[in-house]
């Protein structure tokens, strides 16, 4: 066994030596050519080069967008509010057993966010937008993002709910790459479009978060009324959530109006291409007044006591609805304002309004508390009609339910 093992080792060495010598005697083979593998996805960016006289660059809409879009901003607001929440198990128990033994309530923080559009109306940083975009913005965090992607802190300066217009301000100074102060690009409200029905219009804004979007259409009509708001412009340009507060401009880049709202349904039927804007001349006058108030050159108008107006014109006596008051009346807390009384002989009394009803909306405005009653009620004159949405809490046996009531009253 030992000799056989030694012989095997010698044989192996001899074979290895023969292979080595054979390899040295062969000419070197050329290396195979390296072929580049074609990637499955092309990552090379190609940049198109357009001549200055390219017809696309001379299209009126393209020129108008290049003039107006730098002045358009994205508005992002955030506010933390406290909500009073009732334990669901307590509600279930009380509905079945008809008592208020268990009525545990606790505060819950809720973050409310809003996304909209605005545009600079002067070089110092004043921004015009819709009031409903930054409603109650005194406690809001407002972030303003410009076309170049820079973000600034914004402050709420002034607003009017009945006009649905608000003025914001950027406190930081715009600077170039050299650190030199520059002016913000703005849309001149002193040079508005003539607003002729049938003219081309362009809506600029940030629909559903898509920043710096453009849609076009025509001016479909003027002096439209939606709910309690009148004098609006109608357009078929695409105005979607997030477009609110953005500019509607003509093919010269001049201000046509401020995008405000759209109608998606009418009498339960879907509608398309029906949107509305606040006329540019109305917005221009409002901006001048608002900036003057912001600079202390003019006093703001006296606040309207809407509670007194409802009492005087309609005979409705209101009271804030609190959780304790709702419990005393035998129903769970809901948003709205309690009707505590009606004046004898008033429109409210003649229409059958009773104490204990909860006012939820006036016209198109939702009323969550007394402070949310729309200020435009101060402009109501005798003979004007107002639509109220009310809720009547009712209990049948151990079951509590709420009946919605829509009522029209004529002011005296």
The set of catalytic residues is 132, 164, 244
DSSP 372: G
DSSP state of 151: E
* Interatomic CA distance for residues 113 and 105, integer angstroms: 25
Whole-number Cα distances in Å, 172 to 69, 184, 261: 21, 11, 31
In the chain, how many H helices and how many E strands? 7, 20
Distance of CA 205 to the CA centre of its chain: 11
CA angle 323, 84, 105 (to 5 degrees): 75
Q: Which of 236, 230, 232, 256 is nearest to 363 (CA)?
A: 230
Among residues 114, 124, 127, 184, the alpha carbon closest in space to that of 159 is found at 127
H or E element at residue 4 = helix 2-25
């Amino acid at each position: 066994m030992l000799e056989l093992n030694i012989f095997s080792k010698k044989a192996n060495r001899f074979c290895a030596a023969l292979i080595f010598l054979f390899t040295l005697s062969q000419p070197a083979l050329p290396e195979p050519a390296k072929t580049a593998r074609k990637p499955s996805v092309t990552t090379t960016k190609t940049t198109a080069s357009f001549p200055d006289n390219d017809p696309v660059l001379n299209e009126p809409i393209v020129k108008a967008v290049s003039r107006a879009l730098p002045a358009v901003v994205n508005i992002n607001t955030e506010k933390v509010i406290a909500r009073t929440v009732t334990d669901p198990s307590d509600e279930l128990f009380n509905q079945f057993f008809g008592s208020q033994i268990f009525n545990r309530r606790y505060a819950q923080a809720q973050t409310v966010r809003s996304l909209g559009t605005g545009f600079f109306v002067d070089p110092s940083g004043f921004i015009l937008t819709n009031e409903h975009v930054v409603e109650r913005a005194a406690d809001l965090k407002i972030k303003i993002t410009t076309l170049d992607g820079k973000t600034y802190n914004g402050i709420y300066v002034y607003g009017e709910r009945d006009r649905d217009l608000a003025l914001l301000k950027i406190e930081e100074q715009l600077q170039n790459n050299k650190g030199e102060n520059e002016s913000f690009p703005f849309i001149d409200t002193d040079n508005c479009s003539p607003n002729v029905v049938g003219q081309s219009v362009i809506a600029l804004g940030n629909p559903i978060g898509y920043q710096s979007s453009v849609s076009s259409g025509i001016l479909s009509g003027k002096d439209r009324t939606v709910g309690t708001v009148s004098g609006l412009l109608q357009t078929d340009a695409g105005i979607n959530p997030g477009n609110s507060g953005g500019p509607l401009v003509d093919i010269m880049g001049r201000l046509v109006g401020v995008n405000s709202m759209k109608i998606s349904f009418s009498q339960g039927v879907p509608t398309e291409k029906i949107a509305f804007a606040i006329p540019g001349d109305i917005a221009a006058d409002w901006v001048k007044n608002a900036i003057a108030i912001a600079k202390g050159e003019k006093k703001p108008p006296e606040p309207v006591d809407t509670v007194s107006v409802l009492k005087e014109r309609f005979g409705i006596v209101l009271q804030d609805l609190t959780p304790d008051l709702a419990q005393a009346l035998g129903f769970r807390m809901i948003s709205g304002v309690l009707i505590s009384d009606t004046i004898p002989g008033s429109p409210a009394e003649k229409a059958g309004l009773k104490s204990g009803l909860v006012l939820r909306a006036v016209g198109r405005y939702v009323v969550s508390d007394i402070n949310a009653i729309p200020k435009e009620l101060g402009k109501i004159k005798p003979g004007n009609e107002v639509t109220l949405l009310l809720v009547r809490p009712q209990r049948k046996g151990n079951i509590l339910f709420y009946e919605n009531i829509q009522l029209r009253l004529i002011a005296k």
